[in-house]
Amino acid sequence: MADVDQSKIRNFCIVAHIDHGKSTLADRIIEQTGLLTSREMQAQVLDNMELERERGITIKAQAVRTVYKAKNGEEYIFNLIDTPGHVDFNYEVSRSLAACDGAILVVDAAQGIEAQTLANVYLALDHDLDVFPVINKIDLPSADPQRVIEEIEDVIGIEAQDAPLISAKNGIGIEEVLEQIVTKIPAPKGNPRNPLQALIFDCIYDSYKGVIIFCRVMEGTVRKGTVIRMMATGAREEVVEVGYFGAGQFIPCDELSAGMVGYITASIKNVKDTAVGDTVTDAENPCAEPLPGYKKVLSMVYCGMYPADGAKYPDLRDALEKLQLNDASLNYEPETSVALGFGFRCGFLGLLHLEIIQERLEREYNLDLVTTAPGVVYKVYKTDGTVVELTNPSNLPDPSTIERMEEPIVSAEIMVTSEYIGSIMELCQERRGRYLGMEYIEGTRALLRYELPLNEIIYDFFDALKSRSRGYASFDYDIKGYEEAKLVKLDILINREEVDALSFIVHADSAYERGRKMCEKLKDEIPRHLFEIPIQAAVGGKIIARETVKAMRKDVLAKCYGGDITRKKKLLEKQKEGKKRMRQIGSVEIPQKAFMSVLKLDDRK
């Protein structure tokens, strides 16, 4: 590996709308480049986390290096860098793209261009990548490759006439894709003798090796013994090992030089020291400038996470610590809730990220969690001139000290077939959307542009979008900034006691509606007690809605089923099990899932 001919390297990624076949194509490329036999192939080599496979999406960017013997008789090294497929991970996507020289655009032959296709392809073009399209799923009965080719040329404006027509699933046309990777994606540039400049596009934590940095070397060379420095975080360590990515394993090599993609280990203990997007340089012979594009990742969505069993607090802390080793975009700090006890306020890139972390905590760490309703970060401008970034609704300062509040706004692009434009516009209207414009694509589909408050889309917007368009709408968004809004804190009182963990921030105009629904929902969720329980919603101390959970008066299992005591016991066990999943607040027991009820208030579908 010492002498690598730069002209024989191709660093690329695959961009696509979700479900258009990105991972399947990646599998075929890996398979047909001969690095692995078919038998060694797992169904989807790149997605190696259990959770990812179940959800059919790729969360963490990863890379694989394969060797392709082209028709011209030369061997080429392909570094395929996988990118996450969800808007929550847009920044990670952008860093992965920056590590590439070109991209394959996969478009579904039946569905054509979708919102994420556009968003991802523009992102690739923004990073000066050479993009060539492939038309996938040509074996589908509804495939219309010619229409899709025209659509790509019209809408995106890239040449598509000689796009390979493939079926990644059935292995049709893959050879042509491999050839086009050689001919259409440029070889990397950069001088191995220049000062080291390498881009971190991902990192993971390994309990033996410490942090493993995934990087693309832009300039210079890094090898074992090089003392490296992260230019943004300032962390400094001696390199222990460099190498490249086999399929699912790390293969050490002597050095990584300009144009190469690989990994570095340097006994770094904290993933926070190796921020994605940061530049690695030689501490003794540093480069003049870091690579452009580094951003500190900001959490957009926050929620409280509490152990269902208070005694598990240290376990939750340890689990979060471990997860954070692998996921620098997760952040958390301890907080206390009157209702839920000791827990953490956790910040996420978006709701999907939140759900993934929640599931991992529950599955991998076997924790039973109570999660409060997620919210966005509000800016509270106080009369004394200070600004509070509010991540927990219960910390809202006294309203008399608040001058104004601002909420995050996103610019959203929604692609939808013409017949559903009306219902989607209605949805955006309900969610306080600001209409920016609409373009027709191919006569039958339109691209709607809206600005929407983030807090209106984090819960169930995506589901509502899908159900109101029968699955035909696709959606992508970018954070645009903050805007002033008339916001209030809605409090929930159960048995006349305010439950801090149930408070949330809501637009003043929808406070009544949300309060009413919340009370109705909680009425259904809270079991009957020996006494009557009022459930009230209040804004600024004023009650705006009320429901009552009647007292339990009869809970009898009349029949004893003859001698079938086992069955009787099972019924009691079920009842007791239900009790275990409750939180005691005052004298009321509240089921844990009630704390998420605010998420399920949309009944307008």
Partner 1 sequence: MTENRELELYLHIPFCVRKCLYCDFLSAPASPEVRRRYMDALIRETAQRAEDCRGRRVTSVFLGGGTPSVVDTDGLEKLLETIGERYALSPDAELTVEVNPGTVDGAKLARLRRAGVNRLSIGLQSADDRTLAALGRIHTWQQFLDAYYEARQAGFTNINVDVMSALPGQSLSEYLDTLHRVLALKPAPEHISAYSLILEEGTPLWQMAQEGKLKLPNEDTDRLMYRETKRLLQSAGYTRYEISNYAKEGYACRHNCGYWTRRDYLGLGIGAASLLDNVRFRNGSDLERYLENPSGCREEVQVLSPQEQMEEFMFLGLRMTEGVSEAEFVRLFGRGLEEVYGKVIEKNIREGLLQRITGRDGREDGEERLALTELGMDLSNHVMAQFLLS
Instruction: Compute the distance between CA of residue 357 and CA of residue 302 in angstroms, rounded to an integer.
Output: 12
- The residue among 251 and 552 lying less far from partner 1, judged by its C-beta, is 552
The single residue among 227, 251, 338, 557 that binds partner 1, judged by CB under 8 A, is 557
The single residue among 560, 584, 598, 600 that binds partner 1, judged by CB under 8 A, is 560
Instruction: Compute the distance between CA of residue 98 and CA of residue 291 in angstroms, rounded to an integer.
Output: 10
Instruction: Compute the distance between CA of residue 35 and CA of residue 285 in angstroms, rounded to an integer.
Output: 36
Instruction: Compute the distance between CA of residue 107 and CA of residue 369 in angstroms, rounded to an integer.
Output: 39
- The residue among 568 and 593 lying less far from partner 1, judged by its C-beta, is 568
Instruction: Compute the distance between CA of residue 292 and CA of residue 287 in angstroms, rounded to an integer.
Output: 13
Count of CB atoms within 10 A of residue 326's CB? 18
CB of 553 to partner 1, least distance (A): 6
The single residue among 295, 496, 569, 604 that binds partner 1, judged by CB under 8 A, is 569
CB of 585 to partner 1, least distance (A): 17
Instruction: Compute the distance between CA of residue 5 and CA of residue 76 in angstroms, rounded to an integer.
Output: 9
Choose the binding region for partner 1 from 155-163, 213-221, 536-544, 564-572 (rule: CB under 8 A): 564-572
Q: Does residue number 584 form part of the binding site for partner 1 (CB under 8 A)?
A: no
Residues constituting the chain: 605
The single residue among 42, 387, 573, 604 that binds partner 1, judged by CB under 8 A, is 573
The single residue among 72, 207, 530, 541 that binds partner 1, judged by CB under 8 A, is 530
Instruction: Compute the distance between CA of residue 496 and CA of residue 500 in angstroms, rounded to an integer.
Output: 12
Q: Does residue number 548 form part of the binding site for partner 1 (CB under 8 A)?
A: no
The DSSP code for 208 is T
Q: How many residues bind partner 1 (CB under 8 A)?
A: 24
- Contact map string, positions 468 to 497, toward partner 1, x by CB under 8 A: ------------------------------
| Closest C-alpha to 281, from 198, 191, 192, 189 | 198
Q: Does residue number 524 form part of the binding site for partner 1 (CB under 8 A)?
A: no
CA dist 422 → 220, 411, 507, 527, 546 (Å): 55, 19, 24, 41, 35
Choose the binding region for partner 1 from 88-96, 267-275, 502-510, 548-556 (rule: CB under 8 A): 548-556
Q: Does residue number 139 form part of the binding site for partner 1 (CB under 8 A)?
A: no
CA dist 476 → 114, 418, 461, 570 (Å): 9, 18, 12, 48
- Contact map string, positions 149 to 188, toward partner 1, x by CB under 8 A: ----------------------------------------
Angle value at C-alpha 55, between 50 and 60, nearest 5 degrees? 65
Contacts of 465 (CB under 8 A, 6+ apart): 414, 424, 427, 473, 475
The single residue among 426, 435, 565, 604 that binds partner 1, judged by CB under 8 A, is 565
Q: Does residue number 563 form part of the binding site for partner 1 (CB under 8 A)?
A: yes
The single residue among 142, 400, 566, 584 that binds partner 1, judged by CB under 8 A, is 566
- The residue among 8 and 581 lying less far from partner 1, judged by its C-beta, is 581
Instruction: Compute the distance between CA of residue 486 and CA of residue 337 in angstroms, rounded to an integer.
Output: 26
Q: Which residues bind partner 1 (CB under 8 A)?
A: 530, 550, 552-560, 562-566, 568-569, 571-573, 575-576, 579
